[in-house]
Chains A and B, each alone.
Chain A
């Protein structure tokens, strides 16, 4: 029987599960089905979770395994390789990154799943290299190497392989919060 603590933990991780699922699937609808399957499996196996270890890492493992065993083939038929899913996601007005978020998402969607998942796990979700290695069932060195290659590939897709491509203006934009009005002026 799932404990209250487990239930609370699961609820707290839902937004992370969803973010990981959307990043993997490239489709919000499919991601939500994947999250639901993950929840059912997690609930049914809650006694296998070791308290004191990372619930997020445990849930990501289930989600990832479910994705690769059930969703990937299904997803290919409607593969959103152009990254058009980005347009269906929430669009926040804030521009905190140096690169345009929509452009970035298109590039991210073009990466291989292997590269995309490590970047999301290590670069965004707050998991450690060690946790990512355990989730993927590979050595920590392999994860590090994948992250490096994934970043290089992404830089290539974004056309920012050289520092000149990001330029002083764009790196400044990352530091200063520009309002839309400011951006319009430049």
Chain B
């Protein structure tokens, strides 16, 4: 992270053509973004992740003693 920070302004002049959408369109997009994301959030977390964490912990405990 931060590797591009030095040339960022040169790459992307900020003031140049900032398109401002109608607030209602912005709102529609905002709601859809949340709906998309919330739908993903609601999906159950697969067991493999919890299994992985348990394995990592077990390994740590073993190495720690």
Contacts and interface: CB of A to CB of B under 8 A. Distances in A.
Interface string B1-44: 11111001100101000111110111111111111111111110
Interface residues on A, range: 35 or more
Contacts of B56: 2, 39-40, 43
Interface in A130-186: 134-139, 141-142, 144-146, 148-149, 151-152, 154-155, 158, 160-163, 166, 170-171, 174
Main secondary structure of the interface of A (DSSP, over half): helix
Contact of B24 (A32, A36, A96, A163): A163
Contacts of B49: 14, 35-36, 39
B28 A160 contact: yes
Interface residues of B, number: 45
A10 B9 contact: no
B50 A151 contact: no
A125 B43 contact: no
A174 B12 CA distance: 34
A120 B33 CA distance: 7
30 contacts: A2-B60, A11-B50, A14-B49, A18-B40, A18-B43, A36-B48, A39-B49, A40-B56, A89-B40, A90-B42, A97-B32, A97-B35, A98-B28, A99-B32, A105-B36, A108-B36, A120-B37, A124-B37, A124-B38, A125-B37, A138-B5, A139-B9, A142-B14, A148-B18, A155-B29, A158-B29, A161-B21, A161-B25, A163-B25, A174-B28
Interface of A: 1-2, 7, 10-11, 14-16, 18-19, 22-23, 32, 35-36, 39-40, 43, 61, 65, 89-92, 96-99, 101, 104-105, 108, 119-120, 123-125, 134-139, 141-142, 144-146, 148-149, 151-152, 154-155, 158, 160-163, 166, 170-171, 174
